[in-house]
Amino acid sequence: MTKQKKARLIYNPTSGQEIMKKNVAEVLDILESYGYETSAFQTTPWPNSARDEAKRAAKAGFDLVIAAGGDGTINEVVNGIAPLAKRPKMAIIPTGTTNDFARALKIPRGNPVEAAKIIGKNQMIKMDIGQARDDTYFINIAAAGSFTELTYSVPSQLKTTFGYLAYLAKGVELLPQVSKVPVRITHDDGVFEGDASMIFAAITNSVGGFEQIAPDAKLDDGKFTLIIVKTANLIEILHLIRLVLNGGKHINDRRVEYIKTSYMKIEPLSDKRMMINLDGEYGGDAPIELKNLKNHITFFANTDEISDDALVLDPEELALEAIAHKFTHEVEDLDQEAEE
């Protein structure tokens, strides 16, 4: 007798104006229709509520854990699963403000029912995960520098009400305050030592709602896209933002270092405090080491919509896909001959 698969839905009831809370029953029905014995857990204000439940579910042998909420909820669930030797598959139902991770995986945003239906397509990616220190993980970005501190300055109520517009408004306000700090960044191919106003280590191509900051980022190659902005001049930063919006042309600008690396160490070279932002939240101070854990967690994704440029194509999978296509065409030909 085949063992029935088990799924655990971990959802944030306050995310996205409580949209998930209103759709839990229908999402559970959808998951049950895909053959999962499904139960739900509503997160609480208690610290690490989602992380602890994800860890418990993984150790209890659940086959699938679904994180429903914003990037913060997804980050917590990943932090519950990532340290374990045996990790369940993951899916996401994005209901937050920026939903960077969902953008990268092409999951419908703000529509829990349509997001849940992606699981039924049975398409998956073995995703890279970032590790900071020994016990902290991130799914999308690690950042440092004065401009990245805007995420700490936006009140939570403003985020909930206005979403990414709140970040943009605060970002414009902070631009004149951007400054450079001396830093040393050790990476796979050497060392950068100099002044930087912004540092990004991206896993996906979507950062803060912009999908061109790391335009050639791959989701499964074991590499961060390291971006170091070397200017704090307001006019030059505005010019770089225009280049980002114009197809990601900033990557060739002399004021930007654009590096692929599986490891980095960020060290401030002054007494000024350098806070590290992990997936939009405070993640401690530099110095810090970051490692890319290649193919660490398998996520359900809408791979039909993901560009081939964003993935490392497995030769074995490509060969199987080619055989499947050939078989399909041969069947179609036989059907056509039979009709004739």
Is position 250 within any domain? yes
Q: End-to-end alpha-carbon separation of the chain, Å?
A: 44
Query: Do residue 61 and residue 197 come from a single domain?
Result: no
Query: Do residue 86 and residue 168 come from a single domain?
Result: no
Q: How many structural domains does the chain have?
A: 2
Alpha-carbon distance of 19 to 1, in angstroms, equals 38
Is position 161 within any domain? yes
pLDDT given for residue 233 in this prediction? 86
pLDDT given for residue 66 in this prediction? 98
Nearest CA to 93 among 210, 163, 11?
11
State both tokens at 41. 């857990």
Query: Which CATH number does the domain housing residue 195 bear?
Result: 2.60.200.40
For strands 124-132 and 5-11, give the pairing: unpaired
Query: Do residue 166 and residue 18 come from a single domain?
Result: no
Active-site annotation holds for 26: no
Is position 216 within any domain? yes
Which tens digit of pLDDT belongs to each residue from 205-215?
A: 877 666 778 88
CA-based R_g, the chain, Å: 21
pLDDT given for residue 18 in this prediction? 84
Query: Do residue 204 and residue 269 come from a single domain?
Result: yes
CB 203 within 8 A of CB 139: yes
Percentage of the chain surpassing pLDDT 90?
56
Is position 69 within any domain? yes
Query: Do residue 27 and residue 72 come from a single domain?
Result: yes
Query: Which CATH number does the domain housing residue 114 bear?
Result: 3.40.50.10330
Is position 314 within any domain? no
Final residue of a structural domain among 122, 153, 186: 122
Mean pLDDT of the chain: 85
pLDDT given for residue 107 in this prediction? 95
pLDDT given for residue 158 in this prediction? 46
State the DSSP code for 210. B
CA distances from 17 to 21, 145, 159 (A): 9, 31, 11
E strands, 181-247, are: 181-187, 190-196, 198-202, 224-229
Region of poorest pLDDT, from 5-9, 16-20, 31-35, 120-124: 16-20
State both tokens at 230. 């070397």
Give the CB-side neighbour count of residue 108, counting CA atoms within 13 A: 10
Is position 319 within any domain? no
Final residue of a structural domain among 278, 294, 310: 294
CB 92 within 8 A of CB 50: no
Query: Do residue 116 and residue 169 come from a single domain?
Result: no
Query: Do residue 228 and residue 202 come from a single domain?
Result: yes
The predicted model gives 162-188 an average pLDDT of 70
Final residue of a structural domain among 122, 156, 181: 122
Is position 279 within any domain? yes
Query: Do residue 111 and residue 158 come from a single domain?
Result: no
Annotated active-site residue in 193, 281, 316, 340: 281
Range of the domain at 151: 138-294
Query: Do residue 47 and residue 191 come from a single domain?
Result: no
Residue 329 has pLDDT above 60, yes or no: no
Query: Do residue 151 and residue 75 come from a single domain?
Result: no
E strand or H helix at 70, and its extent? none
Local confidence band at 114 (pLDDT 50, 70, 90 cut-offs): very high
Query: Do residue 162 and residue 286 come from a single domain?
Result: yes
Query: Do residue 148 and residue 58 come from a single domain?
Result: no
Which tens digit of pLDDT belongs to each residue from 178-236?
A: 789 999 999 999 999 999 999 999 999 877 666 778 888 999 999 999 999 999 888 88
Which tens digit of pLDDT belongs to each residue from 232-279?
A: 888 888 888 888 888 889 989 999 999 999 999 999 999 989 999 898
Is position 164 within any domain? yes
pLDDT given for residue 178 in this prediction? 78
